[in-house]
Amino acid sequence: MSTSKNYLVSDFIADWLEKHQISIVFGIIGSANSYIFDSILRKGFTKVIFMHHEQSAVMAAGAYYRASGKISVAIVTAGAGSANAITGVVCNWADSIPCIVLSGQESTKYLIEHSDLRMYGTQGFDIINSVKKITKQATLLTDPNKISYTLDESLHVAMSDRPGPTWIDIPMDIQSSNIDIESLSSFVNTETANYSQEINFDQISKMIESSERPVILAGHGIRLSKSIESFHELMNNLKIPVVHSWSAIDIVSSDDDFNYGCPGIYGQRAANFIIQNCDLLIVIGSRLALPQTGYNIDNFAPNAKIIMVNNDELELNKYSRYDMKIYCDCKYFIDRMNEKIFDSYKENWVIKCNRYREDFPLVEECHLEDNKNFDNSYVLINEISKKLEDNHIIVIGQGSPLPCCHQALIHSSNQTIFASNGLGEMGNGLPSAIGAALSDISRPIILFDGDGSSMMNIQEFQTVIGYKIPLKIVIFNNSGYLFIKHTQKMLFEGRYTGVDSETGMSLPNFEKVSTAFGFEYFNTKKNNFDEFLSFSGPAVLECFMNPEQDLVPKVKGIMTNGGLLAPPLEEMSPLLPIEVLEKSMVEVKKLSYEIRL
Ligand SMILES: Cc1ncc(C[n+]2csc(CCOP(=O)(O)OP(=O)(O)O)c2C)c(N)n1
Ligand SMILES: [Mg+2]
């Protein structure tokens, strides 16, 4: 690091990025952050990827971490630049993704003079108070000598315990202040998470031994705590059926004997039967989000004792249903469990689970029937996924690709697969694919996105072209917002508004749009998957779904005289014949007979 006389706060930032080997950051230049970009330019270590929307920059920074485990930074300007970044921050907040946002701010003088006003200086406002609830830490830097402390602390906070975004707002005069390296205060981490609880591993082993139908639900916390390998070892040791959350889809390959897939409202039938019949459920690093459990937690795994392992106390206390709450890092739990040797294999239960898997394939008859006239999204995803490389990065956008990928994708554990699951914002797909691709440009990358979702942040097509990213994008053209049509069918007798061109929301010609930006264009009427996948540069594959395609299997709400009823997870639509349910459930509920009347 330089100690020359003209050494600015912004120079320190550029040096700090190098010190932490942060070689790629994402951002958009403005006036209020211009010193930071100038210092990065002069330093020449970190490459800035200039996006076309600040929300994209933050999403890309998050995706860079998701694909590589390495943190990145988004650099945005004051006012509108900071405001635009918020959606990306909430996305990373919801999915526990670390990233640091650095924003420029109006000069300190205006922050003081205008502190009670709506706006500071030319276009600034109080971003730090605005983002306090959606970041792990948000700091306004007012003392140039605290730059080192603030950056180190921000990095530590973002990465530690349950990860998430942090934000540092730096007024322009502070960025351009001269500092003396010797007088900087430095951050020393003295706090480590206080996972003080004694964990009774003997009791856990006994609970497993005495259960007949144990299941592990694997969550994203396993990847976040860098314990995927230890988890594979645990699976091998315990030989207990494993299901996983959407966010943990890439932890175990789909052909692993003990991976039984993904339960939930848009889950897989076999996984739902396994959850609903188990008598012991060990949840490792998942927050049990509503789309996973269904709307009534008491109907989720109703016969099971639940052991909940999580490093967020608030999540542990979310429901009163848990029989044992374990407050610790997933890695600690998994490693200690791997030291225990006991008889946990339940042959009859494993045979039963295997039968569920055979009886309920991912692609169902109704999908194949639909696929005769259209590209059915389940069939298409299932087919294309069989052709992907072992090290592919698969980014899932929003709209029907979100459930369909989690229900029908075939994958290996070397692949990286993710979506914005917590916030589920349209427009996440493209920026995320850019961030993930740039974390390792040698890995092939594919994005599955809805036609409506791809319109939000479609400006990033240009970023893909400009940076020559060989991204493959599959666009599911169903001429509108299919997801919302289904809501309108369920709630408003199919009165559509704002979901297609007839009801006020139109979509463009994707061939024209993609070729105008410079993508190679393919479509399923003319091209096969191999032609598309083997193309060397950026390419779009447009497929054509039935604009009314059903998104099933799904645990669908049922309208009754008493209002909308949320059935339990075993009741996925299309409803199975009662005889099949009787064969598949330890205990069939009265409700199941009633809804079939
Ligand atoms: C930013 C944002 N706005 C609105 C929504 C609500 N929403 C959820 S799905 C959806 C439609 C998605 O359409 P498309 O991407 O075309 O997928 P499809 O359902 O048609 O397959 C909408 C509007 C959202 N999730 N995110
Ligand atoms: Mg659509």
Residue type, 386: K
Q: Which of 481, 486, 546 to mutate to test the pocket of ligand 1 (most atoms within 8 A of CB)?
A: 481
Ligand 1 neighbour 30 (Cβ under 6 A): no
> Residue 99 pairs with which residues in a beta bridge?
165
Would residue 340 count as lying in a domain? yes
Q: How far apart are CA 68 and CA 19, in angstroms?
A: 18
Would residue 190 count as lying in a domain? no
pLDDT tens-digit readout, 367-408: 999 999 999 999 999 999 999 999 999 999 999 999 999 999
Q: Which of 398, 475, 496, 505 to mutate to test the pocket of ligand 1 (most atoms within 8 A of CB)?
A: 398
Do both 442 and 348 map to the same domain?
no
Residue 157 domain boundaries? 9-183
Identify the pLDDT of residue 564. 83
Of 150, 183, 216, the domain-final residue: 183
Contact 155, 186 (CB under 8 A): no
Ligand 1 neighbour 428 (Cβ under 6 A): no
Do both 503 and 480 map to the same domain?
yes
Would residue 194 count as lying in a domain? no
Would residue 229 count as lying in a domain? yes
pLDDT tens-digit readout, 109-122: 999 999 999 999 99
Q: Which of 425, 458, 476, 484 to mutate to test the pocket of ligand 1 (most atoms within 8 A of CB)?
A: 484
CA 173 to each of CA 31, 177, 285: distance values in angstroms, whole numbers, following the listed order: 12, 6, 43
- Both tokens of 211, joined, read 């259960």
Of 359, 376, 393, the domain-final residue: 359
Do both 473 and 419 map to the same domain?
yes
pLDDT of 62 strictly over 70 = yes
Contact 471, 395 (CB under 8 A): no
For residue 449, the ligand 1 atom closest to its alpha carbon is 15
Ligand 1 neighbour 184 (Cβ under 6 A): no
For residue 483, the ligand 1 atom closest to its alpha carbon is 19
Do both 418 and 482 map to the same domain?
yes
Q: What is the mean pLDDT of residues 410-436?
A: 97
CA 419 to each of CA 57, 158, 392, 396: distance values in angstroms, whole numbers, following the listed order: 16, 20, 15, 5
Q: How far apart are CA 338 and CA 356, in angstroms?
A: 28
Would residue 549 count as lying in a domain? no
395 C-alpha to ligand 1 centroid (Å): 16
376 C-alpha to ligand 1 centroid (Å): 18
- Both tokens of 192, joined, read 């480590």
Of 340, 359, 378, the domain-final residue: 359
Do both 168 and 220 map to the same domain?
no
- Both tokens of 262, joined, read 């993904």
Identify the pLDDT of residue 195. 80
pLDDT tens-digit readout, 83-140: 999 999 999 999 999 999 999 999 999 999 999 999 999 999 999 999 999 999 999 9
Would residue 564 count as lying in a domain? no
DSSP per-residue codes, 260-324: ----STT--HHHHHHHHH-SEEEEES----HHHH-S-GGGSSTT-EEEEEES-HHHHTS-TT-SE
Give the DSSP H/E element, type plus range, for residue 76: strand 73-76
Ligand 1 neighbour 266 (Cβ under 6 A): no
The DSSP secondary-structure symbol of 572 reads P
Do both 147 and 238 map to the same domain?
no
Going by pLDDT thresholds of 50, 70 and 90, the confidence category of residue 1 is low
Do both 115 and 159 map to the same domain?
yes
For residue 485, the ligand 1 atom closest to its alpha carbon is 19
The count of domains in the chain is 3
Contact 56, 425 (CB under 8 A): no
Ligand 1 neighbour 398 (Cβ under 6 A): yes
Q: How far apart are CA 192 and CA 337, in angstroms?
A: 22
Do both 381 and 496 map to the same domain?
yes
Closest residue by Cα to residue 341 from 236, 261, 420, 251: 236
Can you tell me whether residue 416 is helix, strand or coil?
Answer: strand
Closest residue CA from atom 13 of ligand 1: 481
Would residue 551 count as lying in a domain? no
Give the DSSP H/E element, type plus range, for residue 168: strand 165-171
Rounded to whole angstroms, the maximal C-alpha distance in the chain is 83
Do both 222 and 348 map to the same domain?
yes
Do both 323 and 452 map to the same domain?
no
Ligand showing the shortest atom-to-Cα distance for residue 402: 1
| CA Rg value for the chain | 25
pLDDT of 559 strictly over 60 = yes
Q: How far apart are CA 270 and CA 249, in angstroms?
A: 15
Where does residue 321 rank: exposed (0-12), middle (13-18), buried (19+ CB within 10 A)?
A: middle
Contact 461, 515 (CB under 8 A): no
Measured torsion, CA atoms of residues 46, 52, 54, 59, in degrees rounded to the nearest 10: -70
Beta-strand relationship, 99-105 and 47-50: unpaired
